[in-house]
Amino acid sequence: MTLIPINRRQIMGSIAGLSLGALVPSAGAQEVQGPPGDAGSIHGDMLRDISKALGGKPITEKDGLYNLVALLAGPDFELIGKPDQDVLRKLIDIIFGAPTADEMMKRIEELEKSVSKTIGELAAAIIRIARSSIRYAREKVKEHPQIVKIVVSDVSGAMSGATAAKKFGKRAVLICATAGAIGSSALTALGVEI
């Protein structure tokens, strides 16, 4: 299979946070083990996995995000189960389908409330990142398409970042997802003209 080129501007931020974010242990948790000297090869491995999973779809479009969800649920990662996969697909539909930022927030909050007792940590974290992203994007820009662009960047960054758990272990998945979202948000909201 031919790997598609990934635009560095689209996911550079999420990948930048992978190694560092995955190595920082959360409070009270056991230290996450990982090969810090091998950050470059981990970075390359994750980019190849993501590129392959995208199947030629841009990471910033609905189908690309669906493919990232499938990657997280797939046999090489197994970071989410079928219920979480369905919830994240609904989240993606909301992001791309809501006519305004307020409606997007309302629908995401409703989704979160309806599944809060049944979803796993990673899906819950990605939903919370999306909500936070909407709030932040509304501070930065007013036009809805630009808000969507920032939210999509953060959600794709969280999912891309989560892939590092393949190398660092499942305990690191929330750290990796958060670091990926922060990196993507910084790149999209603060570094790239929107």
pLDDT tens digits, one per residue of 96-155: 999 999 999 999 999 999 999 999 999 999 999 999 999 999 998 999 999 999 999 999
Please tell me the predicted confidence (pLDDT) of residue 35.
Answer: 56
Report the amino acid identity of residue 36: P
Residue 160: closest CA among 2, 81, 75, 42: 42
Report the amino acid identity of residue 164: A
Q: pLDDT above 90 covers what percent of the chain?
A: 57
Report the amino acid identity of residue 120: G
Q: Could you give the CA distance from residue 62 to residue 90 in angstroms, rounded to a whole number?
A: 11
* pTM score, whole prediction: 0.79
Contacts of 99 (CB under 8 A, 6+ apart): 144
Q: Phi and psi dihedrals of 147, rounded to 5? A: -65, -45
Region class of 54: left (phi > 0), else alpha (psi between -120 and 50), else beta: alpha
Q: Which is more confident, 193 or 130? A: 130
Half-sphere exposure of 9 (CA within 13 A, CB side): 9
Cα-trace Rg, the chain: 15
> What is the token pair recorded at 145?
């398409």
- DSSP letters for 110-162: HHHHHHTTTS-HHHHHHHHHHHHHHHHHHHH--SHHHHHHHHHHHHHHHHHHH
The residue assigned the tokens 């662009």 is 149
Please tell me the predicted confidence (pLDDT) of residue 185.
Answer: 74
For the ranges 59-68, 71-80, 108-117, 160-169, the lowest mean pLDDT is seen at 160-169
Q: How far is CA 161 from CA 104, 113, 119, 125, 165, in A?
A: 23, 25, 19, 12, 8
Please tell me the predicted confidence (pLDDT) of residue 12.
Answer: 41
Q: Could you give the CA distance from residue 101 to residue 121 in angstroms, rounded to a whole number?
A: 25
Please tell me the predicted confidence (pLDDT) of residue 165.
Answer: 87
Contacts of 41 (CB under 8 A, 6+ apart): none
